[in-house]
Amino acid sequence: MGDAQMEEGDNTREIEVAPALIAVDPAQRSVAVAVGSDLRVYDLIGDCPVSLVDDSAKPFHSDSIRAIRYDASGKLFVSAGDDKLVKIWSTDSWFCISSVCCEKRVSAVAVSNDGLFVCFADKFGVVWVVSLKGDAENQALADKKAAPMLAHYCSIITSLEFSPDGRFIVSADRDYKIRVTVVPKNPLDGAHEIQTFCLGHSEYVSCLDFIHSPDYPHGLLISGSGDSTVRLWDVTLGSLLDTCEIGSKFDRRFTFFLKAELSATDGIEEDPCHAVTDLCTCPNGTSVALAVQSLKGIMLLNCNLSAKTLSMAKVSISLVLSLFCKDFRFSFLNSRQIHAMHGSIVLRHIYALRYRYAWLGKEES
Amino acid sequence: MIEKETTSTFNKSTGLPRKRFYRARAHSNPLSDSHFPVPLSPSQFDYSLHYPQLVPAASDDDNPKRIQFADIGCGFGGLLVALSTLFPDKLMIGMEIRDKVSEYVKERISALRTTNPGQYQNISVVRTNSMKYIPNYFEKGQLTKMFFLFPDPHFKEKNHRRRVISPHLLDEYAYTLAVGGIIYTITDVEELGEWMKGCLENHPMFEALMEEELENDLVVKLLTSATEEGQKVARNGGQTFQAVYRRIAPPL
């Protein structure tokens, strides 16, 4: 996830820009966007930008933000990145309630389902955990100390996810591995019991998400990788249930919309890269949206939880669009604008090309 | 060892490879991404390539033979060779990151198989970085013995995280070992011995073997006598520090 894509024709090709990130409050009260070191939150109820308040010793972020997310209840928000800080915010007051220091730059964050623990991964592959227990939400806390919980030896962790039933924490790395670890009663003592590994990807694993529904509360794990596949896994056994080859889904119709990579050495167009860079699952457990490198749009896959299969649904090509799909609509980020669920809120100029899709799961009124 | 003038890499009388043609530095950086093939998952590991006599390619076994002993950092293969005849029905593998040294072990096993028909078919070696890729080779709870003999001490404090026995890596070894499986560690560096013992003692999924169990275990004696490193330490009258622990079920 360290390689940033530059927009074509952008004359700042030499400077590496961290991909812009987007996260949506599960309670649908706000949308957060991180652009470089800048964190911007938009209040969807009040229809206005939010002013963040940070009284800590090192306020806000001083370097690229690499991971942002809300917790399952929407009460907490976490941001972390290259400034080696993990900031935990209350979403009621947008006050920074805790700022945790890390020795290394942070590459991924996750919050336990009960909102009591925040986990973050550093660039050496160590996953740290910090406890939020026993603290009132809006109180400023003494800066907390994190404990090491588990590690992928010398590998950059690209994604961290708790399973929907809270039993496992899943971590994916650049060395093609996905590790499923049992969440212990006290994570601060370390998560030593590995449940399984999900092995099969032949390139770096870039993204993880669980897909679940009320009928299937344990859910299944979906992973996207640089090997141009999306895979469906059972995390209790580590078994591979289905694989979707993204590369083979593109035919002549779509090649017009694919940006072919210009080879650095001789300027000859190379075949477009179909690496999966990000994915997001729909809350009702039926669809998965993918961001594919070199595709100017998004790809939708159908997931059948009972048959445990993945299949192609459609490829949507667009630069600026709000898409409707059954009961939900989703917002996404492109090179210039973001369209959030209430229609045409345009946030200011954002200059990166990596997409992140968030499912809002709300019925359109 | 006084070598003859011949330039053959193999000793003509014993048929075994000569160490001097496989000289390598004692050190190899485990953090560098060397390019050797790694199986995508344990089911992709080619057993018939390593154990051609015992696991034929076409076998359609419901209960196929699986590796049970692993020597992590097997060096020149001394332990594997000693274990092979002690446990002829168990498959064993040595993992070694240094290219020349793993080549040597391969040649050594090949030569032993030729000069002792029917024997040494149960041992093999693979060149890999065991600190990163153990889950690629072994299923959960597959191994019953794991060996860490005279590992690199990494004296400097900032390099302690490169040690092959560490709190985080023990999670992976616990995953790979079956409940009841045993991990054997030995070193001649006292500080490292303390470190390894401390890591194992503090890990919730390992418990120390009792004195009587250690005495009754045939393998424990091999820790000092079977490897080239162990023999060198004995020759120099050095002390060794061992820590032998059993994998237990995690506490509830």
| Each residue's pLDDT tens digit, A6-24 | 333 334 444 566 777 778 8
Mean pLDDT, rounded, for A156-162: 95
Name chain B contacts of A204, Cβ cutoff 8 Å: none
Question: And the tokens for B4?
Answer: 């003859």
Q: Do B132 and A153 touch (CB under 8 A)?
A: yes
Closest CA to B145 of B66, B65, B70, B221: B70
Q: How confident is the model at residue B21 (pLDDT cuts 50, 70, 90)?
A: low
Give the pLDDT of residue A254. 52
Q: Which residues lie below 8 Å from residue A310, measured CB to CB, with a gap of 6+? A: A222, A230, A231, A232, A242, A243, A244, A288, A301, A302, A303, A304
CB proximity B26 to A under 8 Å: no
Q: CA nearest A125 in B: which residue?
A: B168
- What is the three-class DSSP state of B43? helix
More reliable by pLDDT, B76 or A136? B76
Question: And the tokens for A99?
Answer: 């700022």
Find the CB nearest B175 among A176, A194, A200: A194
In angstroms, the Cα distances linking A208 to A21, A163, A221, B66, B135 are 15, 11, 7, 31, 20
Q: How confident is the model at residue B229 (pLDDT cuts 50, 70, 90)?
A: confident
CB proximity A151 to B under 8 Å: yes
Given a contact cutoff of 8 angstroms between Cβ atoms, the answer to whether B150 and B186 are in contact is yes
- What is the three-class DSSP state of A125? coil
More reliable by pLDDT, A341 or B230? B230
Chain length of chain B: 252
CB proximity A147 to B under 8 Å: no
Judge whether residue A99 has pLDDT over 50.
Answer: yes
Count of beta carbons in the 10 Å neighbourhood of residue A221:
25
Q: How confident is the model at residue B25 (pLDDT cuts 50, 70, 90)?
A: low
Give the pLDDT of residue A6. 33
Q: pLDDT digit string (tens) for A226-264? A: 999 999 999 999 999 999 998 776 654 455 455 444 444
| Residue list, annotated binding site of B for S-adenosyl-L-methionine | 73, 96-97, 129-130, 149, 227-229
Least confident of A120-134, A287-301, B150-164, B192-206: A287-301
Q: How confident is the model at residue A344 (pLDDT cuts 50, 70, 90)?
A: very low
Q: CA nearest A182 in B: which residue?
A: B250
Q: Where does chain A have alpha helices with state H? A: 252-255
Q: Count of alpha carbons within 13 Å of B87, Cβ hemisphere only?
A: 21
Cα torsion angle, A57, A60, A63, A64, sign = positive
- CATH class label, B61-154+163-247: alpha beta
Query: How close, in Å, is residue A155 to chain B by CA atoms?
Result: 8
State how beta strands B91-96 and B123-127 pair.
parallel
B46 is catalytic: no
Judge whether residue B227 has pLDDT over 80.
Answer: yes
Name chain B contacts of A194, Cβ cutoff 8 Å: 140, 171-172, 174-175
- Where b means 16+ CB within 10 Å and e means fewer, B91-109 reads bbbbbbbbeebbbbbbbbb
Give the H or E element holding residue B2. Answer: none
Name chain A contacts of B203, Cβ cutoff 8 Å: 192
Highest mean pLDDT among A55-59, A268-272, B47-51, B229-233: B47-51
Name chain A contacts of B204, Cβ cutoff 8 Å: 192
Q: Catalytic residue among B46, B61, B152, B217, which? A: B152
CB proximity A174 to B under 8 Å: no
Q: pLDDT digit string (tens) for A296-320? A: 666 778 889 998 998 887 666 544 3
Q: Do B174 and A151 touch (CB under 8 A)?
A: no
Give the pLDDT of residue B30. 57
Q: pLDDT digit string (tens) for A26-51? A: 887 888 888 788 888 888 788 788 89
Q: Count of alpha carbons within 13 Å of B162, Cβ hemisphere only?
A: 16
Give the pLDDT of residue A335. 27
Q: How confident is the model at residue A185 (pLDDT cuts 50, 70, 90)?
A: very high
Q: To the nearest whole number, what is the mean pLDDT of chain A? A: 76
Q: What gap in Å lies between CA A323 and CA A357, rounded to an integer?
A: 11
Give the pLDDT of residue A338. 30
Give the pLDDT of residue A25. 82
Break chain B into its structural domains and give their ranges. Answer: 61-154+163-247
- What is the rounded (10 degree) CA torsion for A236, A164, A297, A34? -120
How many contacts, defined by CB atoms under 8 Å, are there between A and B? 55
Which one of B34, B41, B160 would you mutate to disrupt binding with A, by most A Cβ within 10 Å of its Cβ? B41
Question: And the tokens for A7?
Answer: 């927009």
Mean pLDDT, rounded, for A331-346: 29
Give the pLDDT of residue B61. 66
Name chain A contacts of B31, Cβ cutoff 8 Å: 154
* One-letter amino acid of B169: L
Judge whether residue A269 has pLDDT over 70.
Answer: no
Question: And the tokens for A248?
Answer: 């083979």
Judge whether residue B67 has pLDDT over 50.
Answer: yes
More reliable by pLDDT, A341 or A162? A162
In chain B, the percentage of residues whose pLDDT exceeds 90 is 65
Judge whether residue B125 has pLDDT over 70.
Answer: yes
Give the pLDDT of residue B160. 87
CB proximity B249 to A under 8 Å: no
Judge whether residue B99 has pLDDT over 80.
Answer: yes
Q: CA nearest A199 in B: which residue?
A: B41
Give the pLDDT of residue A29. 86
More reliable by pLDDT, A219 or A348? A219
Q: To the nearest whole number, what is the mean pLDDT of chain B? A: 88
CB proximity A231 to B under 8 Å: no
